[in-house]
Amino acid sequence: MAHPSLLGIDLSEALFYCLECIMKQVAFILFFIAIFCGTQSPVRGQSPAQVTLTRGYWSDPSTGLMWTINDNGRDVTWGNAVKYCQNLSLAGYSDWRLPSVDELEAIYDGSGFSAPHSKGSTIALAGSAKGGLVLTGAREWSNSRVLDDRGHKTGFAWQYDYPHGRRWKDPLGYTGSLRALCVRHP
């Protein structure tokens, strides 16, 4: 028995093709509805570090603070580090700030890591930041100013040295390998 046709096109094949296209479109639409309605996480199956990279920030489970996934990426003075965080808009938030030196120290991970050296060798360093944060310099500025013996602010501020796991202080105008890593309260 011959299949019905119209202008030489097999109608049963055309109908099957049409249904197949509709099913694919329905599946595609349902997939996006599931993601945007929250029934399926768009980061399911990713490691915590991949999730952090996707969102652009990391939430510290011990403090609840939200940290930018990476610092500003270049040497800055203390004043420019403060401005960078104040002007940052990320993940729908614009209340980012430079962290205190205590907050920077709280995310120190002293388990050690190694970093590539420019001559192809590897340097073993003492530590890094938790949460897979990407730090491009040796130290991160804090909002904590150094006080003199009378409790007045000096021309120095504290920063945290992640490779060595300790606090440093430098003049506010110094820029050598100092970056701005931003934080906010949720």
pLDDT at 55: 83
Higher-confidence residue of 25 and 148: namely: 148
- pLDDT, averaged across the chain: 79
Q: How far apart are CA 27 and CA 16, in angstroms?
A: 16
Residue 65: pLDDT over 60 = yes
Q: Looking at per-residue confidence, does 16 or 172 come out higher?
A: 172
| Length of the chain as a residue count | 186
* Res. 31: pLDDT tops 50: no
DSSP string, 122-157: EEEES-EEGGG-B--SSEEEEEEEEE-TTS-EEEEE
pLDDT over 70 percentage in the chain = 63
What angle is formed at CA 39 by the lines to CA 92 and CA 96, rounded to 5 degrees? Answer: 15
Per residue in 111-126, pLDDT (tens digit) is 865 555 556 655 545 5
CATH level 2 (architecture), domain 48-184: Roll (3.10)
**Mean pLDDT value of segment 36-42:** 39
Q: Which residue has the higher pLDDT, 76 or 124?
A: 76
Predicted local confidence at residue 54, as pLDDT: 67
User: Mean of the pLDDT values across residues 101-111?
Assistant: 94
In this predicted structure, the answer to whether residue 44 has a pLDDT above a threshold of 90 is: no
- Say how far apart CA 181 and CA 157 lie, in whole Å: 15
What is the biggest distance separating any 2 CA atoms in the chain, rounded to whole angstroms? 103
- pLDDT at residue 6, rounded to an integer: 54
Residue boundaries of the structural domains of the chain: 10-36, 48-184
pLDDT at 128: 87
What does the pLDDT read at residue 41? 39
pLDDT digits (tens, 9 = 90+) for 130-179: 998 999 998 999 999 999 999 999 999 999 999 889 999 999 999 999 99
